[in-house]
Amino acid sequence: MRTHLRTAAVVASAAALTLGLAACGTDSDPSSNDDAGSSAGDTQKITVAASPNPHAQILDFVRDNLAEDAGLDLTVQEFSDYVLPNTAVDSGEVDANYFQHQPYLDDFNANHGTDIVPVVNVHLEPLGLYSKSLDSVEGLTEGSTIAIPDDASNGGRALQLLAQNGVIELKDGVGANAVLGDITDDKGITFTELEAASLPRALDDFDAAVVNGNYALEVDLSPADDAIALEEAEGNPYANFLAVKAGHENDPAVQTLAELLNSDEVAQFIEDTYPGSVVPAFGTPGA
C-alpha cells in the first residue's frame, strides 16, 4: 500500500497521485461531492486520488479504454505520500482514492478520526527487500543496516517479511502489528524507520531496505526480478482498493468505476504490464 502531487484529468480532460508533498484539489467543496456520481446528461463524473504507479496507470488504462463506453468522466489526482489521499477524500476535495490496503486504512481512521471505507479490491503489490550490494538475504549479517517503513501497518508488514526469510526473529503472535521492540533476535543488524516514499533512495545509505511495491516500480525496480525477498501473493491481506468516505459506497459513479476496475480487461492489463510485480486481487474487501 501501505503513503505528496500532480494533477491528471482522465476522460474529458487528460493526463495524470503517488503516495510528493503537495496536493491539487478539485474545484469542488465537500458539499458538492454529495453529488459525486450524479450524471451530467448521461455522463457520471468522479475524481480519484491515486499514487502514480501502478494506481494512476491502471486508472489511465480505464480512462483510455473503458470509461467512455461506461459513461464515466474520470479525473485522477496523483499524490506521492500516504496521508493526503485520505485527507482529500475526508474533506471532499476528491470523491475516492486508490492507493492503500486495509491495515493501513484501519490505522489511519483510528488515528485521524476519519471514516473512509473500502469499496472493491483491485490489486496486490508484494512488499520486497532490496539491496544494491547484496544478492541474497544470507548477506545480511552482524553489522548490516536495514531501512523499513515508519508507518505502523507497513512497518509490521516489513518485519514479518524479514522474519519469514530468517533475517530476524519476532515474538510469537505479534502478526502484522509487529514493531521493532518485538524483535527477539536482530542477528546484530541495525534497523532504521523511514517514510515509505523515501526508502528507494535509502538503498544508497543502507545495506538493504524494505520497499512498498509502488515505490519500487517508480524507480524501475521490478519486485519479481530485483527483490532479494518478496511477499507471497496467495493469502496476502494487503490488497489495494478503491475507497470512499462512508456513505458514498453506492454512488453511481463509484459503482461504475468499481466494476471497471474489476473487469477482465484490467486484469489483463495488470498481468501484461507488471508481470509478477503487481497481481490482480479482485473482489469485496475482507472477503
pLDDT value of residue 6: 36
Residue 41: inside a domain:
yes
Residue 155: inside a domain:
yes
In the block, residue with C-alpha cell 491515486: 50
pLDDT value of residue 42: 77
Query: Do residues 71 and 170 both lie within one domain?
Result: no
Query: Do residues 59 and 94 both lie within one domain?
Result: yes
DSSP-based three-state secondary structure for 280 = strand
Q: What is the CA radius of gyration of the chain?
A: 19
Stretches where the chain sits below pLDDT 70 are 1-41, 287
Query: Do residues 12 and 115 both lie within one domain?
Result: yes
Residue 119: inside a domain:
yes
Query: Do residues 110 and 247 both lie within one domain?
Result: yes
pLDDT value of residue 36: 53
Predicted structure pTM score: 0.73
Query: Do residues 79 and 154 both lie within one domain?
Result: no
Give, in degrees to the nearest 5, the angle at Cα 116 between 7 and 62: 45
How does pLDDT run across 194-206, given as a tens digit for each residue?
999 999 999 999 9
Query: Do residues 208 and 263 both lie within one domain?
Result: no
In the chain, where do the E strands start and end? 6-9, 39-40, 43-50, 72-78, 96-100, 116-124, 128-130, 145-149, 169-170, 183-185, 190-194, 208-211, 229-230, 240-245, 279-283
pLDDT value of residue 269: 98
**Count of structural domains within the chain:** 2
Residue 16: inside a domain:
yes
Query: Do residues 144 and 67 both lie within one domain?
Result: no
Residue 1: inside a domain:
no
CA of residue 103 relative to chain centroid, distance: 11
Among residues 157, 128, 76, 125, which one has the least CA distance to residue 280?
Answer: 125
Residue 241: inside a domain:
yes
DSSP 8-state assignment for residue 164: H
Query: Do residues 39 and 134 both lie within one domain?
Result: no
pLDDT value of residue 200: 95
CA of residue 74 relative to chain centroid, distance: 19
pLDDT value of residue 183: 98
Residue 279: inside a domain:
yes
220: domain range? 128-230
Query: Do residues 158 and 53 both lie within one domain?
Result: no
Query: Do residues 259 and 223 both lie within one domain?
Result: no
pLDDT value of residue 4: 36
Query: Do residues 194 and 272 both lie within one domain?
Result: no
Residue 34: inside a domain:
yes
What CATH number is given to the structural domain containing 182?
A: 3.40.190.10
